[in-house]
Amino acid sequence: MKRILITGALGQIGSELTMKLRETYGSDNVIATDIRKNDSEAAQSGPFETLDVTDLNKMGDIAKKYKVDTIMHLAALLSATAEAKPVLAWNLNMGGLMNALETARELNAQFFTPSSIGAFGPSTPKDSTPQDTIMRPTTMYGVNKVAGELLGDYYYHKFGVDTRGLRFPGLISHVALPGGGTTDYAVEIYYEAIKNGRYTSYIDKGTYMDMMYMPDALNAIIDLMEADPCRLKHRNSFNVTAMSFDPEEIADEIRKHIPAFELTYHVDPVRQRIADSWPNSIDAIAAEEEWGFKFEYDLARMTEDMINKLTNKLS
Ligand code: AKB
């Protein structure tokens, strides 16, 4: 049985990952941490500690207090916020990651942290982007993610820490909203479709980005962490994806449920530039071959589920 410390446990991934891990490994074995507590299920349903991930001593104290053997480090600023606040992004994203890796090294704990399609840049092949390819991102977030992947490999080779990671695409969920990301439009569009029947997209038509529904992302994290290490040729980090679409395609899918849905555009140059620097679609062959990655939700299935769940939530 694992005993897991999660940082950023009340964020977009953390809110649902905490609950899923508590179902899988038992509530007391999943220690949720975040910079502040709220009244969400993730904060209330098991052990919770407030933690600023830039505080190495406190992170170490919590990890030792609960005798954790696994660290899942999620706390980070997303791409658009990191672009607006690059120094804060470096300090938080890299400082937090170093502290989490050091804590894992000290406790000999297994380690997970997400990378992102943001680790790729304009010189990366745009379509079916392979696992091993050119990585010269032009955003602070991308610089953080590439450095993070390299640090994960470094801690594995140098100190034997069992580091593992996934390059996530945009993650779509009806539970917690993302904040400060470039792919957030693909979550907002569902909320606005249900509430107002229309959405103004800050990402332009024709801009394709990879996406994945949260239940598939959570399964991917657990499957990777449970994977036989002998099969892993890569560790940090595996491409994973379930779909790639542009705003027009997601709108067409929404119209199958809400026929009068209207999509208009007011493009945000900062987030559009970030999106333009990322791949149109990535390939997940290494993840499929090395630990059996698979997904259940394509655009049609995800849209049906999002609309059902959000209709109940917002009514
Ligand atoms: C973002 O848009 O910043 C994130 C990501 C793709 O890493 N959702």
Chain segment 171-200, per-residue pLDDT in tens: 999 998 888 999 999 999 999 999 999 999
Mean pLDDT of 256-267: 98
Best mutation site among 13, 77, 184 for ligand 1, i.e. most ligand atoms within 8 A of its Cβ?
Answer: 184
What does each C-alpha distance from 296 to 106, 210, 214 come to in angstroms? 37, 15, 11
Contact indicator for 93, 148 with CB cutoff of 8 Å: yes
Share of the chain above pLDDT 90, in %: 98
The span from the CA of 171 to the CA of 224, in Å, is 17
Residue nearest to atom 7 of ligand 1 (CA): 116
Residue 231 to residue 216: CA distance in whole angstroms: 21
Structure ipTM: 0.99
Q: Output the residue whose Cα is nearest ligand 1's atom 8.
A: 170
Q: What is the pLDDT of residue 255?
A: 98
Span from the CA of 142 to the centroid of ligand 1 (angstroms):
10
Average pLDDT estimate for 92-100? 98
Instruction: Work out the average pLDDT over 272-283.
Output: 98
CA of residue 281 to ligand 1 center, whole Å:
14
The reported pLDDT for the residue numbered 53 is 98
Q: Could you tell me how far CA 266 lies from the centroid of its own chain? A: 26
pLDDT of 121 over the 90 cut: yes
Q: How many A from CA of 118 to the centre of ligand 1?
A: 7
Q: Is the pLDDT of residue 116 over 90?
A: yes
Position 14 scores a pLDDT of 97
Task: Determine the pLDDT at residue 114.
Answer: 98
Residues with CB under 6 A from ligand 1: 78-79, 116-118, 141, 168-170, 178, 181-183
| Catalytic site positions | 141
199-234 pLDDT, tens digit per residue, is 999 999 999 999 999 999 999 999 999 999 999 999
pLDDT tens sequence across 125-151:
999 999 999 999 999 999 999 999 999
DSSP type of residue 4: E
Identify the pLDDT of residue 195: 96
Indicate if the pLDDT at residue 315 is higher than 90: no
pLDDT recorded at residue 178: 83
Are 216 and 295 a contacting pair, CB within 8 Å?
yes
**Which two three-digit tokens encode residue 97?**
């990651």
| 34: enclosing H helix or E strand | strand 30-34
pLDDT at 139: 98
Which residue's CA lies nearest to atom 4 of ligand 1? 181
| pLDDT > 90? residue 73 | yes
Q: What's the CA-to-centroid distance between 78 and ligand 1, angstroms? A: 6
Query: Ligand 1: which of 141, 212, 271 to mutate, judged by most atoms within 8 Å of the beta carbon?
Result: 141
Q: Give me the chain's average pLDDT, please.
A: 97
Q: Is the pLDDT of residue 1 over 90?
A: no
